[in-house]
Amino acid sequence: MEILDILIIGAGPIGLNCALEAKKNNLSYLIIEKGTIVNSLYNYPLYMRFFSTAEKLEIAEIPFISAAPKPGRQEALEYYQGIARQKNININLYEKVLKVSKNGNIFEIETSKSKYAAKNVIISTGFYDIPNLMNIPGENLEKVKHYYTEPYPYAQQKIVVIGSSNSSVDAALETYRKGAEVTMIIRNSEISENVKYWVKPDIENRISEESIKAHFNAELIEIKENSVVFKDKNDEIQEIENDFVLAMTGYLPDFNFLKNSGIDLQGECLNPVYDPETMETNIENLYLAGVVCGGKDTHLWFIENSRIHAEMIIRNILST
């Protein structure tokens, strides 16, 4: 079996950047990706626009040309998938990594299709694959959606949106404008300060005029076939009619995979242990890159501030 210099898990923007950096330094590498190229971006809402400008999403100094000040999902897919084609990056798609173990100085990687060996492994798996569940009765009903793509299925329906993050606000505004009756149930006392600055006044004005109903300091406690039950700011129980629940409660890294790979997790946010200078974990030659580094704090890392991880990792690999 060929022993690769580097095996990269995940073909998101940061995984691609790691591959390009490895290629530039003549290191043998392979990306294993369980879906398509930049799979998380593919599963984003169809009309999503990034908070970042195009130049902050660039990798390997390859220009990202966007007609709009803030690029959208389709432009990002074209950019990153175009790089994978043009640079002929070595990627195995629709192959899931099941296990990473170390035997001496060599990693043995088992996937859904094959087995591999590598001197170094980079985990760049993001956090979009596992919904952060509410763990309440009825959450498993078909009407509950943890992923939102577009507003059209919700026209003329009674929608409950959980949360006040960017994804929640986008879902609430888009479904409202396609004729849904929208109610937001929000744990906090106001719309999140992290909501995109050009969107925040829109949602606040819609709430103020009661076009979109919002219950702040509230908590959803049960989902039924034709209604939802929640506790309002006065700790009173309310039940309202409902057709769909858009549970925009966030997403989590695959902590079981990280633990099974030997990576230590610390604190309430299950932050993986790594050296911030090299991105090497407590397992020698096993690295983390991208948003997976933040544990449950998924607002810590983005494409624009984790692009540097690739160069840091490859520099450390070359120095050992």
Q: Are residues 220 and 165 in the same domain?
A: yes
Query: Residue 93: its pLDDT value, please?
Result: 98
Q: Are residues 200 and 296 in the same domain?
A: no
Q: Are residues 302 and 272 in the same domain?
A: yes
Residues 6+ apart with CB under 8 A from 176: 182, 206, 211, 212
Query: Residue 30: its pLDDT value, please?
Result: 98
Share of the chain above pLDDT 90, in %: 92
- For residue 239, what are the domain limits? 133-247
pLDDT of 1 above 90: no
Query: Residue 239: its pLDDT value, please?
Result: 98
- The 8 Å CB, 24+ separation contacts for 148-152 are 148/45, 148/246, 148/248, 149/43, 149/45, 149/46, 150/45, 150/46, 150/47, 150/174, 151/175, 151/177, 151/178, 151/180, 152/178
Q: Are residues 148 and 232 in the same domain?
A: yes
Share of the chain above pLDDT 70, in %: 100
Task: Say what the pTM is.
Answer: 0.92
Domain end, chosen from 247, 269, 304, is at 247
Helix axes 73-86, 13-24, angle to 10 degrees: 20
User: Tokens 């983005």 label which residue?
Assistant: 302
Highest-scoring range by mean pLDDT, 128-132, 135-139, 248-252 = 135-139
Q: Which residues pair with 231 in a beta bridge?
A: 219, 237
Confidence of residue 298 (pLDDT cuts 50, 70, 90): confident
Confidence of residue 306 (pLDDT cuts 50, 70, 90): very high
CA dihedral 298, 231, 137, 190 (to 10 degrees): -20
Domain end, chosen from 197, 230, 247, is at 247
What residue type is assigned to position 276 of the chain?
Answer: P
Element (H, E) at 106: strand 106-111
pLDDT of 94 above 90: yes
Q: What is the mean pLDDT of the chain?
A: 96
Write the pLDDT tens digit of every residue in 201-210: 999 999 999 9
Number of domains in the chain: 2
Confidence of residue 287 (pLDDT cuts 50, 70, 90): very high
Domain end, chosen from 199, 219, 247, is at 247
The 3-class SS string of 26-61 reads CCCEEEECCCCCCHHHHCCCCCCECCCCHHHHCCCC
Q: Are residues 7 and 126 in the same domain?
A: yes
Q: Are residues 125 and 259 in the same domain?
A: yes
CATH number, domain with residue 180: 3.50.50.60
Q: Are residues 222 and 168 in the same domain?
A: yes
Confidence of residue 116 (pLDDT cuts 50, 70, 90): very high
Query: Residue 37: its pLDDT value, please?
Result: 98
